[in-house]
Structure 1
Amino acid sequence: MFLSRIDRHNFLLLLCFSQLLFLLILYRRGAAGVFQGLFGGSDPPWDYSKTQDVYTNLSLFVPDPENVNTQYCPAKSPILVGPLSVSFQTTPSLKKVQQKNRHVKPGGYFSPRHCFGRYRTAIIIPHRNRESHLRTLLYYLHPFLQRQQLHYAVFVVHQAGNSTFNRAKLLNIGVREALKLDDWDCLVLHDVDLVPENDYNMYICDEEYPKHLASAMDKFDYSLPYWKYFGGVSALTPDQYMRINGLPNNYWGWGGEDDDIAMRIRLVGMSITRNPLSLGRYKMISHSRDSGNEENSRRYDQLGNTRRTWREDGMNSLDFKLISRTRAPLYTNITADIGDPPLVTEAPARWKLF
C-alpha cells in the first residue's frame, strides 16, 4: 500500500509536468505548429537557405483576353516557389516599384490577365511618416500577390495631423472605405513594416474563423510570442469583421489593440486559425519607436473592460473626417482626421492581463 501511494504520487507529478511541458510548447510554437508536427499535414519542410526572387517567373503569365472572362484561375498558382529573398539593405524608389509592377492599375488594383481571379482581397495598411517602409513593402507585396493570382487592391490609410497614432481606428476606416469600392472576399490587416517570406502564405481568408498570417516574425525568433497573439498581419472576411464590431477605436499609442481583437473573436464564439510557423514567416523592417506612437499606458485597464465595451466601441461608433481618397499609382491613399485622444484624468492600473 505504501508503494502504491508513492507510485500514485509519482504519476501525478509526471502528469503535471507533462501538462506544463505541453503548455510551454503551445506557448512557443502555437497549436498549428504543434498539431501539424504530431499528425502531419500538407506544409512541406521549407528550406529558407534557398530562396527565390519575388519577381521570379511573373513573365510566364501570358495575357489571355478570352480566359480572363470565362475561366477561373486555379486554386493553386503554378508559379509559387516558396521561400523568398527579402533584403532591407536599400530602399527602392517609387519609380522603381512602378517599373517592376507595370500591370498594377491606379489605386493599387490588380487582376490576373490570363484568367479570372477567384479571390478578391483588400490589403489595408495603417500609416503615418513611414514612407521608406511603405516603398519597401510595396516592392515585395505587389509581386507576392500577383504570384498568387489574386484580384486585389492596396489601401494605405494615412492619419492626418500630429496627434497620437491610432492603428486600430485607421484599420476601421480602411475597411469602411474599401467596402464602398468593391465586394471583397477577404480583408488583410497589414502592418507597414512586415514583409512575407513565403509565397505559399496565401492572402485569402478562412471562411469559418479569422486567420493570423504573421505567426512567425524574425523579431520573435520565428516563434509565437504568446498564445493569444493576433498582431502584425491578419485576415478576416467582411462578415467576421462585422461580427466582432471591427476593431476598438480607443487605443491611442502603441499596444493593446491586438489583444482586444483576439478577445472579441473569442467573445463572439469564434476561434483563431493560424499559419504554421514554417509558413507564416515575416521579416520586420527595424526602426525605433515613432514620435506620437508612445506606449499606451492605459491598455491593461482597457483590456480589462473589453468584455463590457466591445459592442459599443468599434465599427458602429467610428467617427472621423475623410480628408481625401486618391488613387496613387501603387495604392489607394486614404487620409483621415481621426481627432485627438481623450484626456486621462486617472492614473492607469499597474496590473497586467497578459
Structure 2
Amino acid sequence: MLRPRRCFRTCLVLPGLSLFVVLYLTYELYDWNREIEWTGWEKSTTSFKHRLCVLVPFRDREAELAEFVPHLKRFIRAQNVDNEFIILNQTDSFRFNRASLINVRIQIVCCSLMYYYQVGWFEADRIGCDYLVMHDVDLLPLNPDLEYTFPGEGVVRHIAAPKYHPKYNYEKFVGGILMLTTHDYKKIHGMSNKYWGWGLEDDEFFLRIRDGKLKLIRPEGLATDRNTTFRHIHGPNRRRDQTRRSERTEREIAEKRRRDTMGGLSNTRYKIVERSRTSVESEPVTILNVNLQCDSVKYPYCLPTHRI
C-alpha cells in the first residue's frame, strides 16, 4: 500500500503534469497554426467535394514547364476538378531525386518538439486537397477520357498506363502520372529516398502499392494508342541525370536493386529554401525551392556526375 505522500506524488502530481504538458503543446500548435502567415498557399473556398494536388518534381525544365502548366490546367478544368499545382524545385547540388521531392514535408518546430506535415497533408489542412497526382513535367495527356477525378480510398490510378505510355511498356511500370489519396500515400510510407539520379524509384513504389494491398487501376479501352494518348515533350537535347554504364559501381547497382523497407516519409532530409506564389503562362502555381540532403557515405552516387 502506498504511503499518503508517495500516493499524492504518484497518483496526482505526475498525471497532472503530463496532462498540463499535453494541453500546453496542443495550445501552442493551435496558436502557431492560427497566427503564422503561409505565403503562397490558398485555402479552398470552393464547393467542390474533393481537391487535387498536382505534385511536379522539377529541375531546370523551364521550357517544358511553360507548356505543361497551361495544358494540364485546361485539361483538368474540363473535368471540373478543383486543383492546386505544386512545383517541387530541387535547388541543391546533388543528383536529382524525384521520390524525395514528392516526400517533402513542412516541418514545424515548437517547444523543442517537431511536428511534420507532408505536402499532401499540409494542403489537405490548408487548401483542401485530399488526393494527389505525381506528374512528370514532360508528359501531356491528350485523350479526354484520361481521368483526373477522385480515385477513392484504397485505389491507385496509374494514368500513364504501360499500354498507352509513349516509351515504357512493362507491367510493373507505375511512372509518369500516378494518382492516389493523401491518406493512402501515407499508409504505404511514401516513396524510397535512396534513388538519386534517374530511374527505379517507381519500380520500388510498385512493390509498396502491392504490399499495402492497394488496388492498382489503369485506363482501358481508349480510342487512342501509344502515339496519340500522350505527348512527350522531353526534348532530344535534354540530358537525363543518369550515369553511364561504365561509371556505375557495383555498389550503386546493388543498392538500387535492393528493396528499401525502411526509407520513406519519415526520413526524408531536406530544407525548404523558399516558398513562392507565381504564374506560369498566366496560370497560378506554388513553387517550393528545396535543398535535399544526402548521406554521401551511405549513398555516394548522390554526388554530382556527368549526365547522359
Give the TM-score band, short-chain normalised: 0.5 to 0.7
With over 3 angstroms needed to count, the CA separation of the structure-2 counterparts of 1:120 and 1:320, relative to structure 1, is: same
Pair 1:176-2:126 in alignment = no
CA distance in 1, matches of 2:300, 2:271: 29
The CA deviation at 1:155 is 0.2
Of stretches 278-287 and 246-255 in structure 1, the one that deviates more from structure 2 is 278-287
CA distance in 2, matches of 1:235, 1:283: 19
The CA deviation at 1:289 is 7.3
TM-score normalised to structure 1 length = 0.59
Deviations 1:207-259 (A, max 9, x none): 22211011155533xxx610111000000101110111001111000111000
Q: Pick one of 85, 91, 103 that aligns with 1:160.
A: 91
Counterpart in 2 of 1:213?
Answer: 159
Corresponding letter in the other structure for 2:231 = K
CA RMSD in angstroms, aligned pairs only:
3.0
Pair 1:293-2:247 in alignment = no
Q: Pick one of 327, 336, 339 that aligns with 2:277.
A: 327
How many residues are paired up? 234
Pair 1:187-2:132 in alignment = yes
The CA deviation at 1:277 is 6.0
Q: Pick one of 134, 147, 166 that aligns with 1:202.
A: 147
Q: 2:193 is paired with a residue of what secondary structure? A: coil
With over 3 angstroms needed to count, the CA separation of the structure-2 counterparts of 1:230 and 1:240, relative to structure 1, is: same
CA distance in 2, matches of 1:278, 1:110: 36
Counterpart in 2 of 1:9?
Answer: none
Corresponding letter in the other structure for 1:322 = I
Q: Which runs of 5+ in 1 are unaligned?
A: 1-105, 348-354
Pair 1:339-2:286 in alignment = no
The CA deviation at 1:194 is 0.4
CA distance in 1, matches of 2:90, 2:221: 32
With over 3 angstroms needed to count, the CA separation of the structure-2 counterparts of 1:341 and 1:144, relative to structure 1, is: farther
The CA deviation at 1:342 is 2.2
Q: What percent of counterpart residues are identical?
A: 26
CA distance in 2, matches of 1:192, 1:132: 10
1:1-354 residue pairs with structure 2 within 5 A?
116-173=47-104, 176-180=118-122, 181-207=126-152, 208-215=154-161, 216-217=163-164, 219-220=166-167, 225-276=169-220, 278=222, 281-288=229-236, 293-295=241-243, 297=248, 301-302=254-255, 304-306=257-259, 309-310=260-261, 312-329=262-279, 330-340=284-294, 342-343=296-297
With over 3 angstroms needed to count, the CA separation of the structure-2 counterparts of 1:345 and 1:236, relative to structure 1, is: closer
- Checking the alignment, whether the CA contact within 8 Å between 1:109 and 1:331 is kept in structure 2 is no
Deviations 1:102-146 (A, max 9, x none): xxxx96979898xx3232100000000000000110121111111
CA distance in 1, matches of 2:299, 2:275: 36
- Checking the alignment, whether the CA contact within 8 Å between 2:51 and 2:130 is kept in structure 1 is yes
With over 3 angstroms needed to count, the CA separation of the structure-2 counterparts of 1:109 and 1:279, relative to structure 1, is: farther
Counterpart in 2 of 1:37?
Answer: none
Q: Which runs of 5+ in 2 are unaligned?
A: 1-38, 106-116, 302-308
Of stretches 263-272 and 248-257 in structure 1, the one that deviates more from structure 2 is 263-272
TM-score normalised to structure 2 length = 0.67
Counterpart in 2 of 1:62?
Answer: none
With over 3 angstroms needed to count, the CA separation of the structure-2 counterparts of 1:108 and 1:183, relative to structure 1, is: closer
With over 3 angstroms needed to count, the CA separation of the structure-2 counterparts of 1:346 and 1:254, relative to structure 1, is: closer
CA distance in 1, matches of 2:74, 2:252: 37
